Amino acid sequence: MTFDLAPMLPLWLLITIAAVITIGAVYGFIRGARGMIWRALAVLLLLGWMAGPRSLHPVFKPVPQDALLIVDRSPSMQVGQRTALADQTASQIMQDAAHLPGLTLHRVDVPGGNGHGTRLFDAMDHADLPQGRFAGAIVVTDGMDHDVPAHLPARFHGPNGQMLPMHLLVTAKGEETDRRLRILSTPSYAIVGQNATIRLQVDDLGSPATTTATLTVRAGDAPPATRTIQTGQPQDITVPVQHPGETLVGLSVSTLPGEASQLNNSDVIRIRGVRDRLRVLLVSGVPNQSERVWRRLLKADPSVDLVHFTILRSPNTDDGTPLSDLALIPFPIRELFQEKIRSFDLIILDGFRNSNILPEEYLTNIADYVRKGGGLLVTAGPEFVQDGSLQDTTLAQVFPAHVPTDGIVTQPFRPGLTDLGKAHPVTAGLGNSSDWGPWYRSAKVDQSHGQNLMSGPDGSPLLLLDRVEQGRVAMLLSDQLWLWSRGEGGGGPQAELLRRLSHWLMKEPDLEENRLTARIENGQLLVERHALGQTTITPQAMVTLPDGRTHPLSMTGGKGLWTGTLPVSGNGIWTIRQDGLVAFASPVSQDALERQDLRATATVMGATANTSGGSQNWAGLSIPHLRQVQAGQDLSGSGWIGLPVSKAAVVGETRTQDLIPGWLALVLALGCLGIGWWREGR
């Protein structure tokens, strides 16, 4: 407020008259003239009124305002009718805002998820609003936010220091309860044949009482197992890991009566089964370059226990060497090939010529070891056509090929992949075979069977794989793989080839050429059937859903690969069977944080709303109406929420008010004249 004068006469004239009247009044007072002072005062009052003193008041008008309507669209809002209620609430608030002058309500839908949970305050901070026009925020949510700050953001502090409101509209009728299954710890790997320990806890959120719950555990094709556990306390369970590769363990807990959702009552654990210290027996003939390749490969793997023997000479060799110098220890034939042969996961015979070194019964033991599930890798070189060849023993019964006496070919050639080898998991993706370095010796066979993955001179078989009853055999028909390790002609993928070959012999699931795999991505069950060398398969796979229902799935494709898709939803383990093969699949949770607590609650954001001066409302009971309120008034009431109105002075526009009204000046002047007349009469 400011002051101003609006004189009826020139101001200098009024001042002059006032000065003359004042001097006259003083003179009259000195001369003893009664009433002179009062008459002068009456004239001065009239002169003061004629000077036009007045006050100037700025004119304030409401300024345009912007507010935020934050609508939670996170995955937890899909529980029950929350999304529909949120849309209804947001629609009514927008309609109310449309009738409020000067208010622009900006709606922001916050999707949430993506591994970061619900982040409503982050959306508020990044909202693009004009500076200085923020009036507050209205948040429509289930109340489960994951970025609630310790203090209100700076945007909620008004220009005059007042707090701007954040109104919380929760999409429920009141506080809810929820039972959740929480995995505290689980191993990523476990030894095949042993148990894996999983620590978990069941919590009843929003319910203070400790109760019991029924936990169901399902692993693979085994029947489900149940147990009773206490809620709110960590529990340890053990599950067997029976095969290499991924094992899916399904965990589910019984329902809490009245809980908000059962989505977090179950979970699926992935545990990869690994072998415990693979035991490999490597028997080499006379020292050669390839045995170094084998030793480096096997020694470089910390999970491999290698037993390696090199036969330097045959027992019937007579070169005059003293018997005491022939060996440091006796060759443990009986221990290796009879007593402990079943303890090995893989036997490698590299350049080995028997020459009466092993009795026939021990070679038969090796053949029986293969038939009962063992793995055997044989490299064939010149020793295969010499006296004492393994082809002349009972072990030849499990070999996939026979090399004739004139079968050794000595000429440069580049190993290549056959059509089958380009698709087989053991050799697929090893690179362009035209870039591989040359070899100079191979064994040409006169008969063979099994799977031919690599070709040698004139397209002859170079790498053969075969199954013998429960076991497997691989035969490499050359002893010059070591040339690749030296970079001959550019080298080749010897390390990866030998690694895959060894693991195929030890039945690694990912290297099976006849396998069934499944996974779930973006709500689709994707099933793949690999069947190399087969032209037809059963046209349908049978899918067992988590609830026990079955659904046929048509498979399409050919040339060794068939696929099928099926839309799925929910959590759990899907089981797929086809032609005696079985596969399991489960969706990977994209936002475990979002599923931790599925209640609708005001406990998480309520304190922040109260601090801002806002309110908490249960939209499931009634949706409040939006109105504008003057600064300093209540921001909420029964059935309504408010946003404060902000006003600013209008530039160039003021409101005036006379400090001395005319009627008052006249009354006072007449009063002074009356008093002066009365004084003069005395």
Give tens-digit pLDDT for 370-383: 999 999 999 988 88
Q: What is the spatial order of strands in the sheet that 212-219 belongs to?
A: 189-191, 266-274, 245-253, 212-219, 225-230
- pLDDT the model gives residue 596: 87
Overall average pLDDT of the 601-606 stretch: 93
The kind and range of the H/E element at 471 are: strand 471-476
Q: Please say whether the dihedral angle defined by the alpha carbons of residues 619, 621, 627 and 633, taken in this order, is positive or negative.
A: negative
The C-alpha atoms of residue 614 and residue 641 are separated, in whole angstroms, by 8
**What are the backbone angles phi and psi of residue 46, rounded to the nearest 5°?**
-65, -40
- pLDDT the model gives residue 328: 54
Q: Decide if 570 contacts 95 (C-beta within 8 A).
A: no
Greater confidence, 24 or 306?
A: 306
Q: Decide if 180 contacts 202 (C-beta within 8 A).
A: yes
Q: What percent of the chain has pLDDT over 90?
A: 42
The C-alpha atoms of residue 168 and residue 151 are separated, in whole angstroms, by 16
| Residue 104 clears pLDDT 80, i.e. is over it | yes
| Residue 466 clears pLDDT 60, i.e. is over it | yes
Q: Decide if 244 contacts 273 (C-beta within 8 A).
A: yes
Q: Which of 35-39, 157-161, 310-314 has the lowest mean pLDDT?
A: 310-314
Residue 577 region, left (φ>0) first, then alpha (ψ -120 to 50), else beta? beta
* Residues 6+ away with beta carbon under 8 Å from 307: 279, 280, 281, 282, 336, 344
Q: Decide if 452 contacts 261 (C-beta within 8 A).
A: no
- pLDDT the model gives residue 390: 87
One-letter-per-residue 3-state SS of 175-214:
CCEEEEEEEEECCCEEECCCEEEEEEEEEEECCCCCCEEE
Q: What angle do CA 670, 676, 681 make, to 5 degrees?
A: 125
Q: Where does residue 208 rank: exposed (0-12), middle (13-18), buried (19+ CB within 10 A)?
A: exposed
Query: What confidence category does residue 358 fall into, taking pLDDT thresholds of 50, 70 and 90?
Result: confident
- pLDDT the model gives residue 326: 56
Residue with tokens 């220009």: 159
Smallest Cα–Cα separation from 482: which of 263, 206, 296?
Answer: 296
3-state secondary structure of 582: strand
- pLDDT the model gives residue 450: 92
| Residue 28 clears pLDDT 80, i.e. is over it | no
Beta strands in 373-460 (DSSP E): 375-379, 401-402, 408-413, 416-417, 439-443, 447-448, 451-455
Overall average pLDDT of the 397-424 stretch: 92
Beta strands in 503-611 (DSSP E): 514-521, 524-531, 540-544, 550-554, 556-558, 561-567, 574-578, 581-585
The amino acid occupying position 149 is: P
This prediction has a pTM of: 0.72
One-letter-per-residue 3-state SS of 604-663:
CCHHHHHHCCCCEEECCCCCCEEEEECCCCCCEECCEEEEECCEEEEEEEEEEEECCCHH
The gap between the terminal CA atoms of the chain, to the nearest Å, is 46
Greater confidence, 433 or 168?
A: 168
- pLDDT the model gives residue 178: 93
Query: What confidence category does residue 649 fall into, taking pLDDT thresholds of 50, 70 and 90?
Result: low
Overall average pLDDT of the 447-473 stretch: 93
- DSSP 8-state class, residue 174: S
**What are the backbone angles phi and psi of residue 509, rounded to the nearest 5°?**
-60, -35
Residue 132 region, left (φ>0) first, then alpha (ψ -120 to 50), else beta? left
CA distances from 204 to 75, 198, 212, 216 (A): 20, 20, 10, 17
- pLDDT the model gives residue 296: 79
For residue 53, the number of C-alpha atoms closer than 13 Å in the C-beta half-sphere is 11
Q: Let me know how many helices (H) and strands (E) the chain has, helices first.
A: 12, 39
The amino acid occupying position 243 is: H
Residue with tokens 């010059």: 480
Greater confidence, 479 or 30?
A: 479
- pLDDT the model gives residue 439: 93
Q: Which of 176-180, 273-277, 345-349, 462-466 has the lowest mean pLDDT?
A: 273-277
The kind and range of the H/E element at 472 are: strand 471-476
Greater confidence, 624 or 336?
A: 624
The C-alpha atoms of residue 372 and residue 344 are separated, in whole angstroms, by 12
| Residue 677 clears pLDDT 80, i.e. is over it | no
Query: What confidence category does residue 543 fall into, taking pLDDT thresholds of 50, 70 and 90?
Result: very high
- pLDDT the model gives residue 682: 61
| Residue 200 clears pLDDT 90, i.e. is over it | yes
3-state secondary structure of 117: coil
Residue 129 region, left (φ>0) first, then alpha (ψ -120 to 50), else beta? beta
